[in-house]
Amino acid sequence: MTAEPVSVGLLYPGHSAEDDFPALEVRLGGRVRLPLVHTSVGEDAHRVDALLDLGGPDRLAEGAGRLAESRPDSIMWACTSGSFVFGWDGAREQVDRLADLLGKPASSTSIAFVEAARALGLSRVAVAASYPEDVAGRFVEFLGHGGIEVVGWGFRDIVTAAEVGTLGRDEVIGLAVDHDHRDAEAVLVPDTAMHSLAWLDDLEAAVGKPVLTANQVTVWEGLRLAGGPTTLPGLGRLFAGASG
């Protein structure tokens, strides 16, 4: 009798790059399930007040209620800015509430970046952000609280998730290359509104070091929490076995 594939439930705000996830399911031939529920969005803006609303408890609780129907093995709040904007303790409280609601382990993309960096033994990174400067700076601060030193960072000043979702392969690679730093052991590219899962090997080839993207670490963290496979092809060095 074939075992059921591990299921990582995704709470994803709005509509931008959510097609990354079903495409990955197909590529992996059914080894994992990634059921996704769209959480509600007030204003699509990479602005602190809008992001605090985006990741508010009522929006996440409503989405979690619908996600429960998929019976996931773990839950991911698949949003970087809507988690790190709450700060280190606030982001932890956010996912603790989700875990209590569904009775399953839960995390978020921001926390996943820290866990993935630790799994790869990284201590110094560069950040290539699509966000405006003040929002990108909050991600840098969040990483610092997690013990990850940011030796260089840059931003694209894109205000809406919708616009980020239109970035193509070459633009995403260019973002990572442009904001790499010679002292960085890896480049981190936040924002789950950005497509990346099909281009991870290309990203790492262009940069010449590990690249961690939002959608990549979201899937990895969900699988890690659920006890699923974290060694998978075509998903960069994070999934190459270093994380066990």
Q: Where are the domains of the chain?
A: 6-111+215-230, 115-213
pLDDT, position 75: 98
pLDDT value at residue 244: 35
For the domain covering 115-213, report its CATH number: 3.40.50.12500
* Per-residue pLDDT at 24: 96
DSSP string, 155-199: E-----HHHHTT--HHHHHHHHHHT--TT-SEEEE--TTS--TTS
Residue 242 banded pLDDT, cuts 50, 70, 90: very low
- Least Cα distance to 219 among 30, 84, 62, 25 occurs for 25
What's the pLDDT tens digit per position in 165-190?
999 999 999 999 999 999 999 999 99
pLDDT score of 241: 72
Same fold, 6-111+215-230 and 115-213: yes
Would you state the pLDDT for residue 44?
A: 85
Write out pLDDT tens, residues 38-68.
999 988 888 999 999 899 999 999 999 999 9
Q: pLDDT exceeding 90 applies to what percent of the chain?
A: 91
Domain 6-111+215-230 grouped into CATH 3.40.50.12500: yes
Crossing angle of the two packed helices 20-27 and 214-226, in degrees rounded to 10: 60
What are the structure tokens assigned to 215, written together?
């959608």
* 230-241 tens-digit pLDDT: 999 999 999 997
Question: pLDDT per residue over 6-41, tens digit each?
Answer: 999 999 999 999 999 999 999 999 899 999 999 999
CA 91 – CA 108 distance, rounded (Å): 8
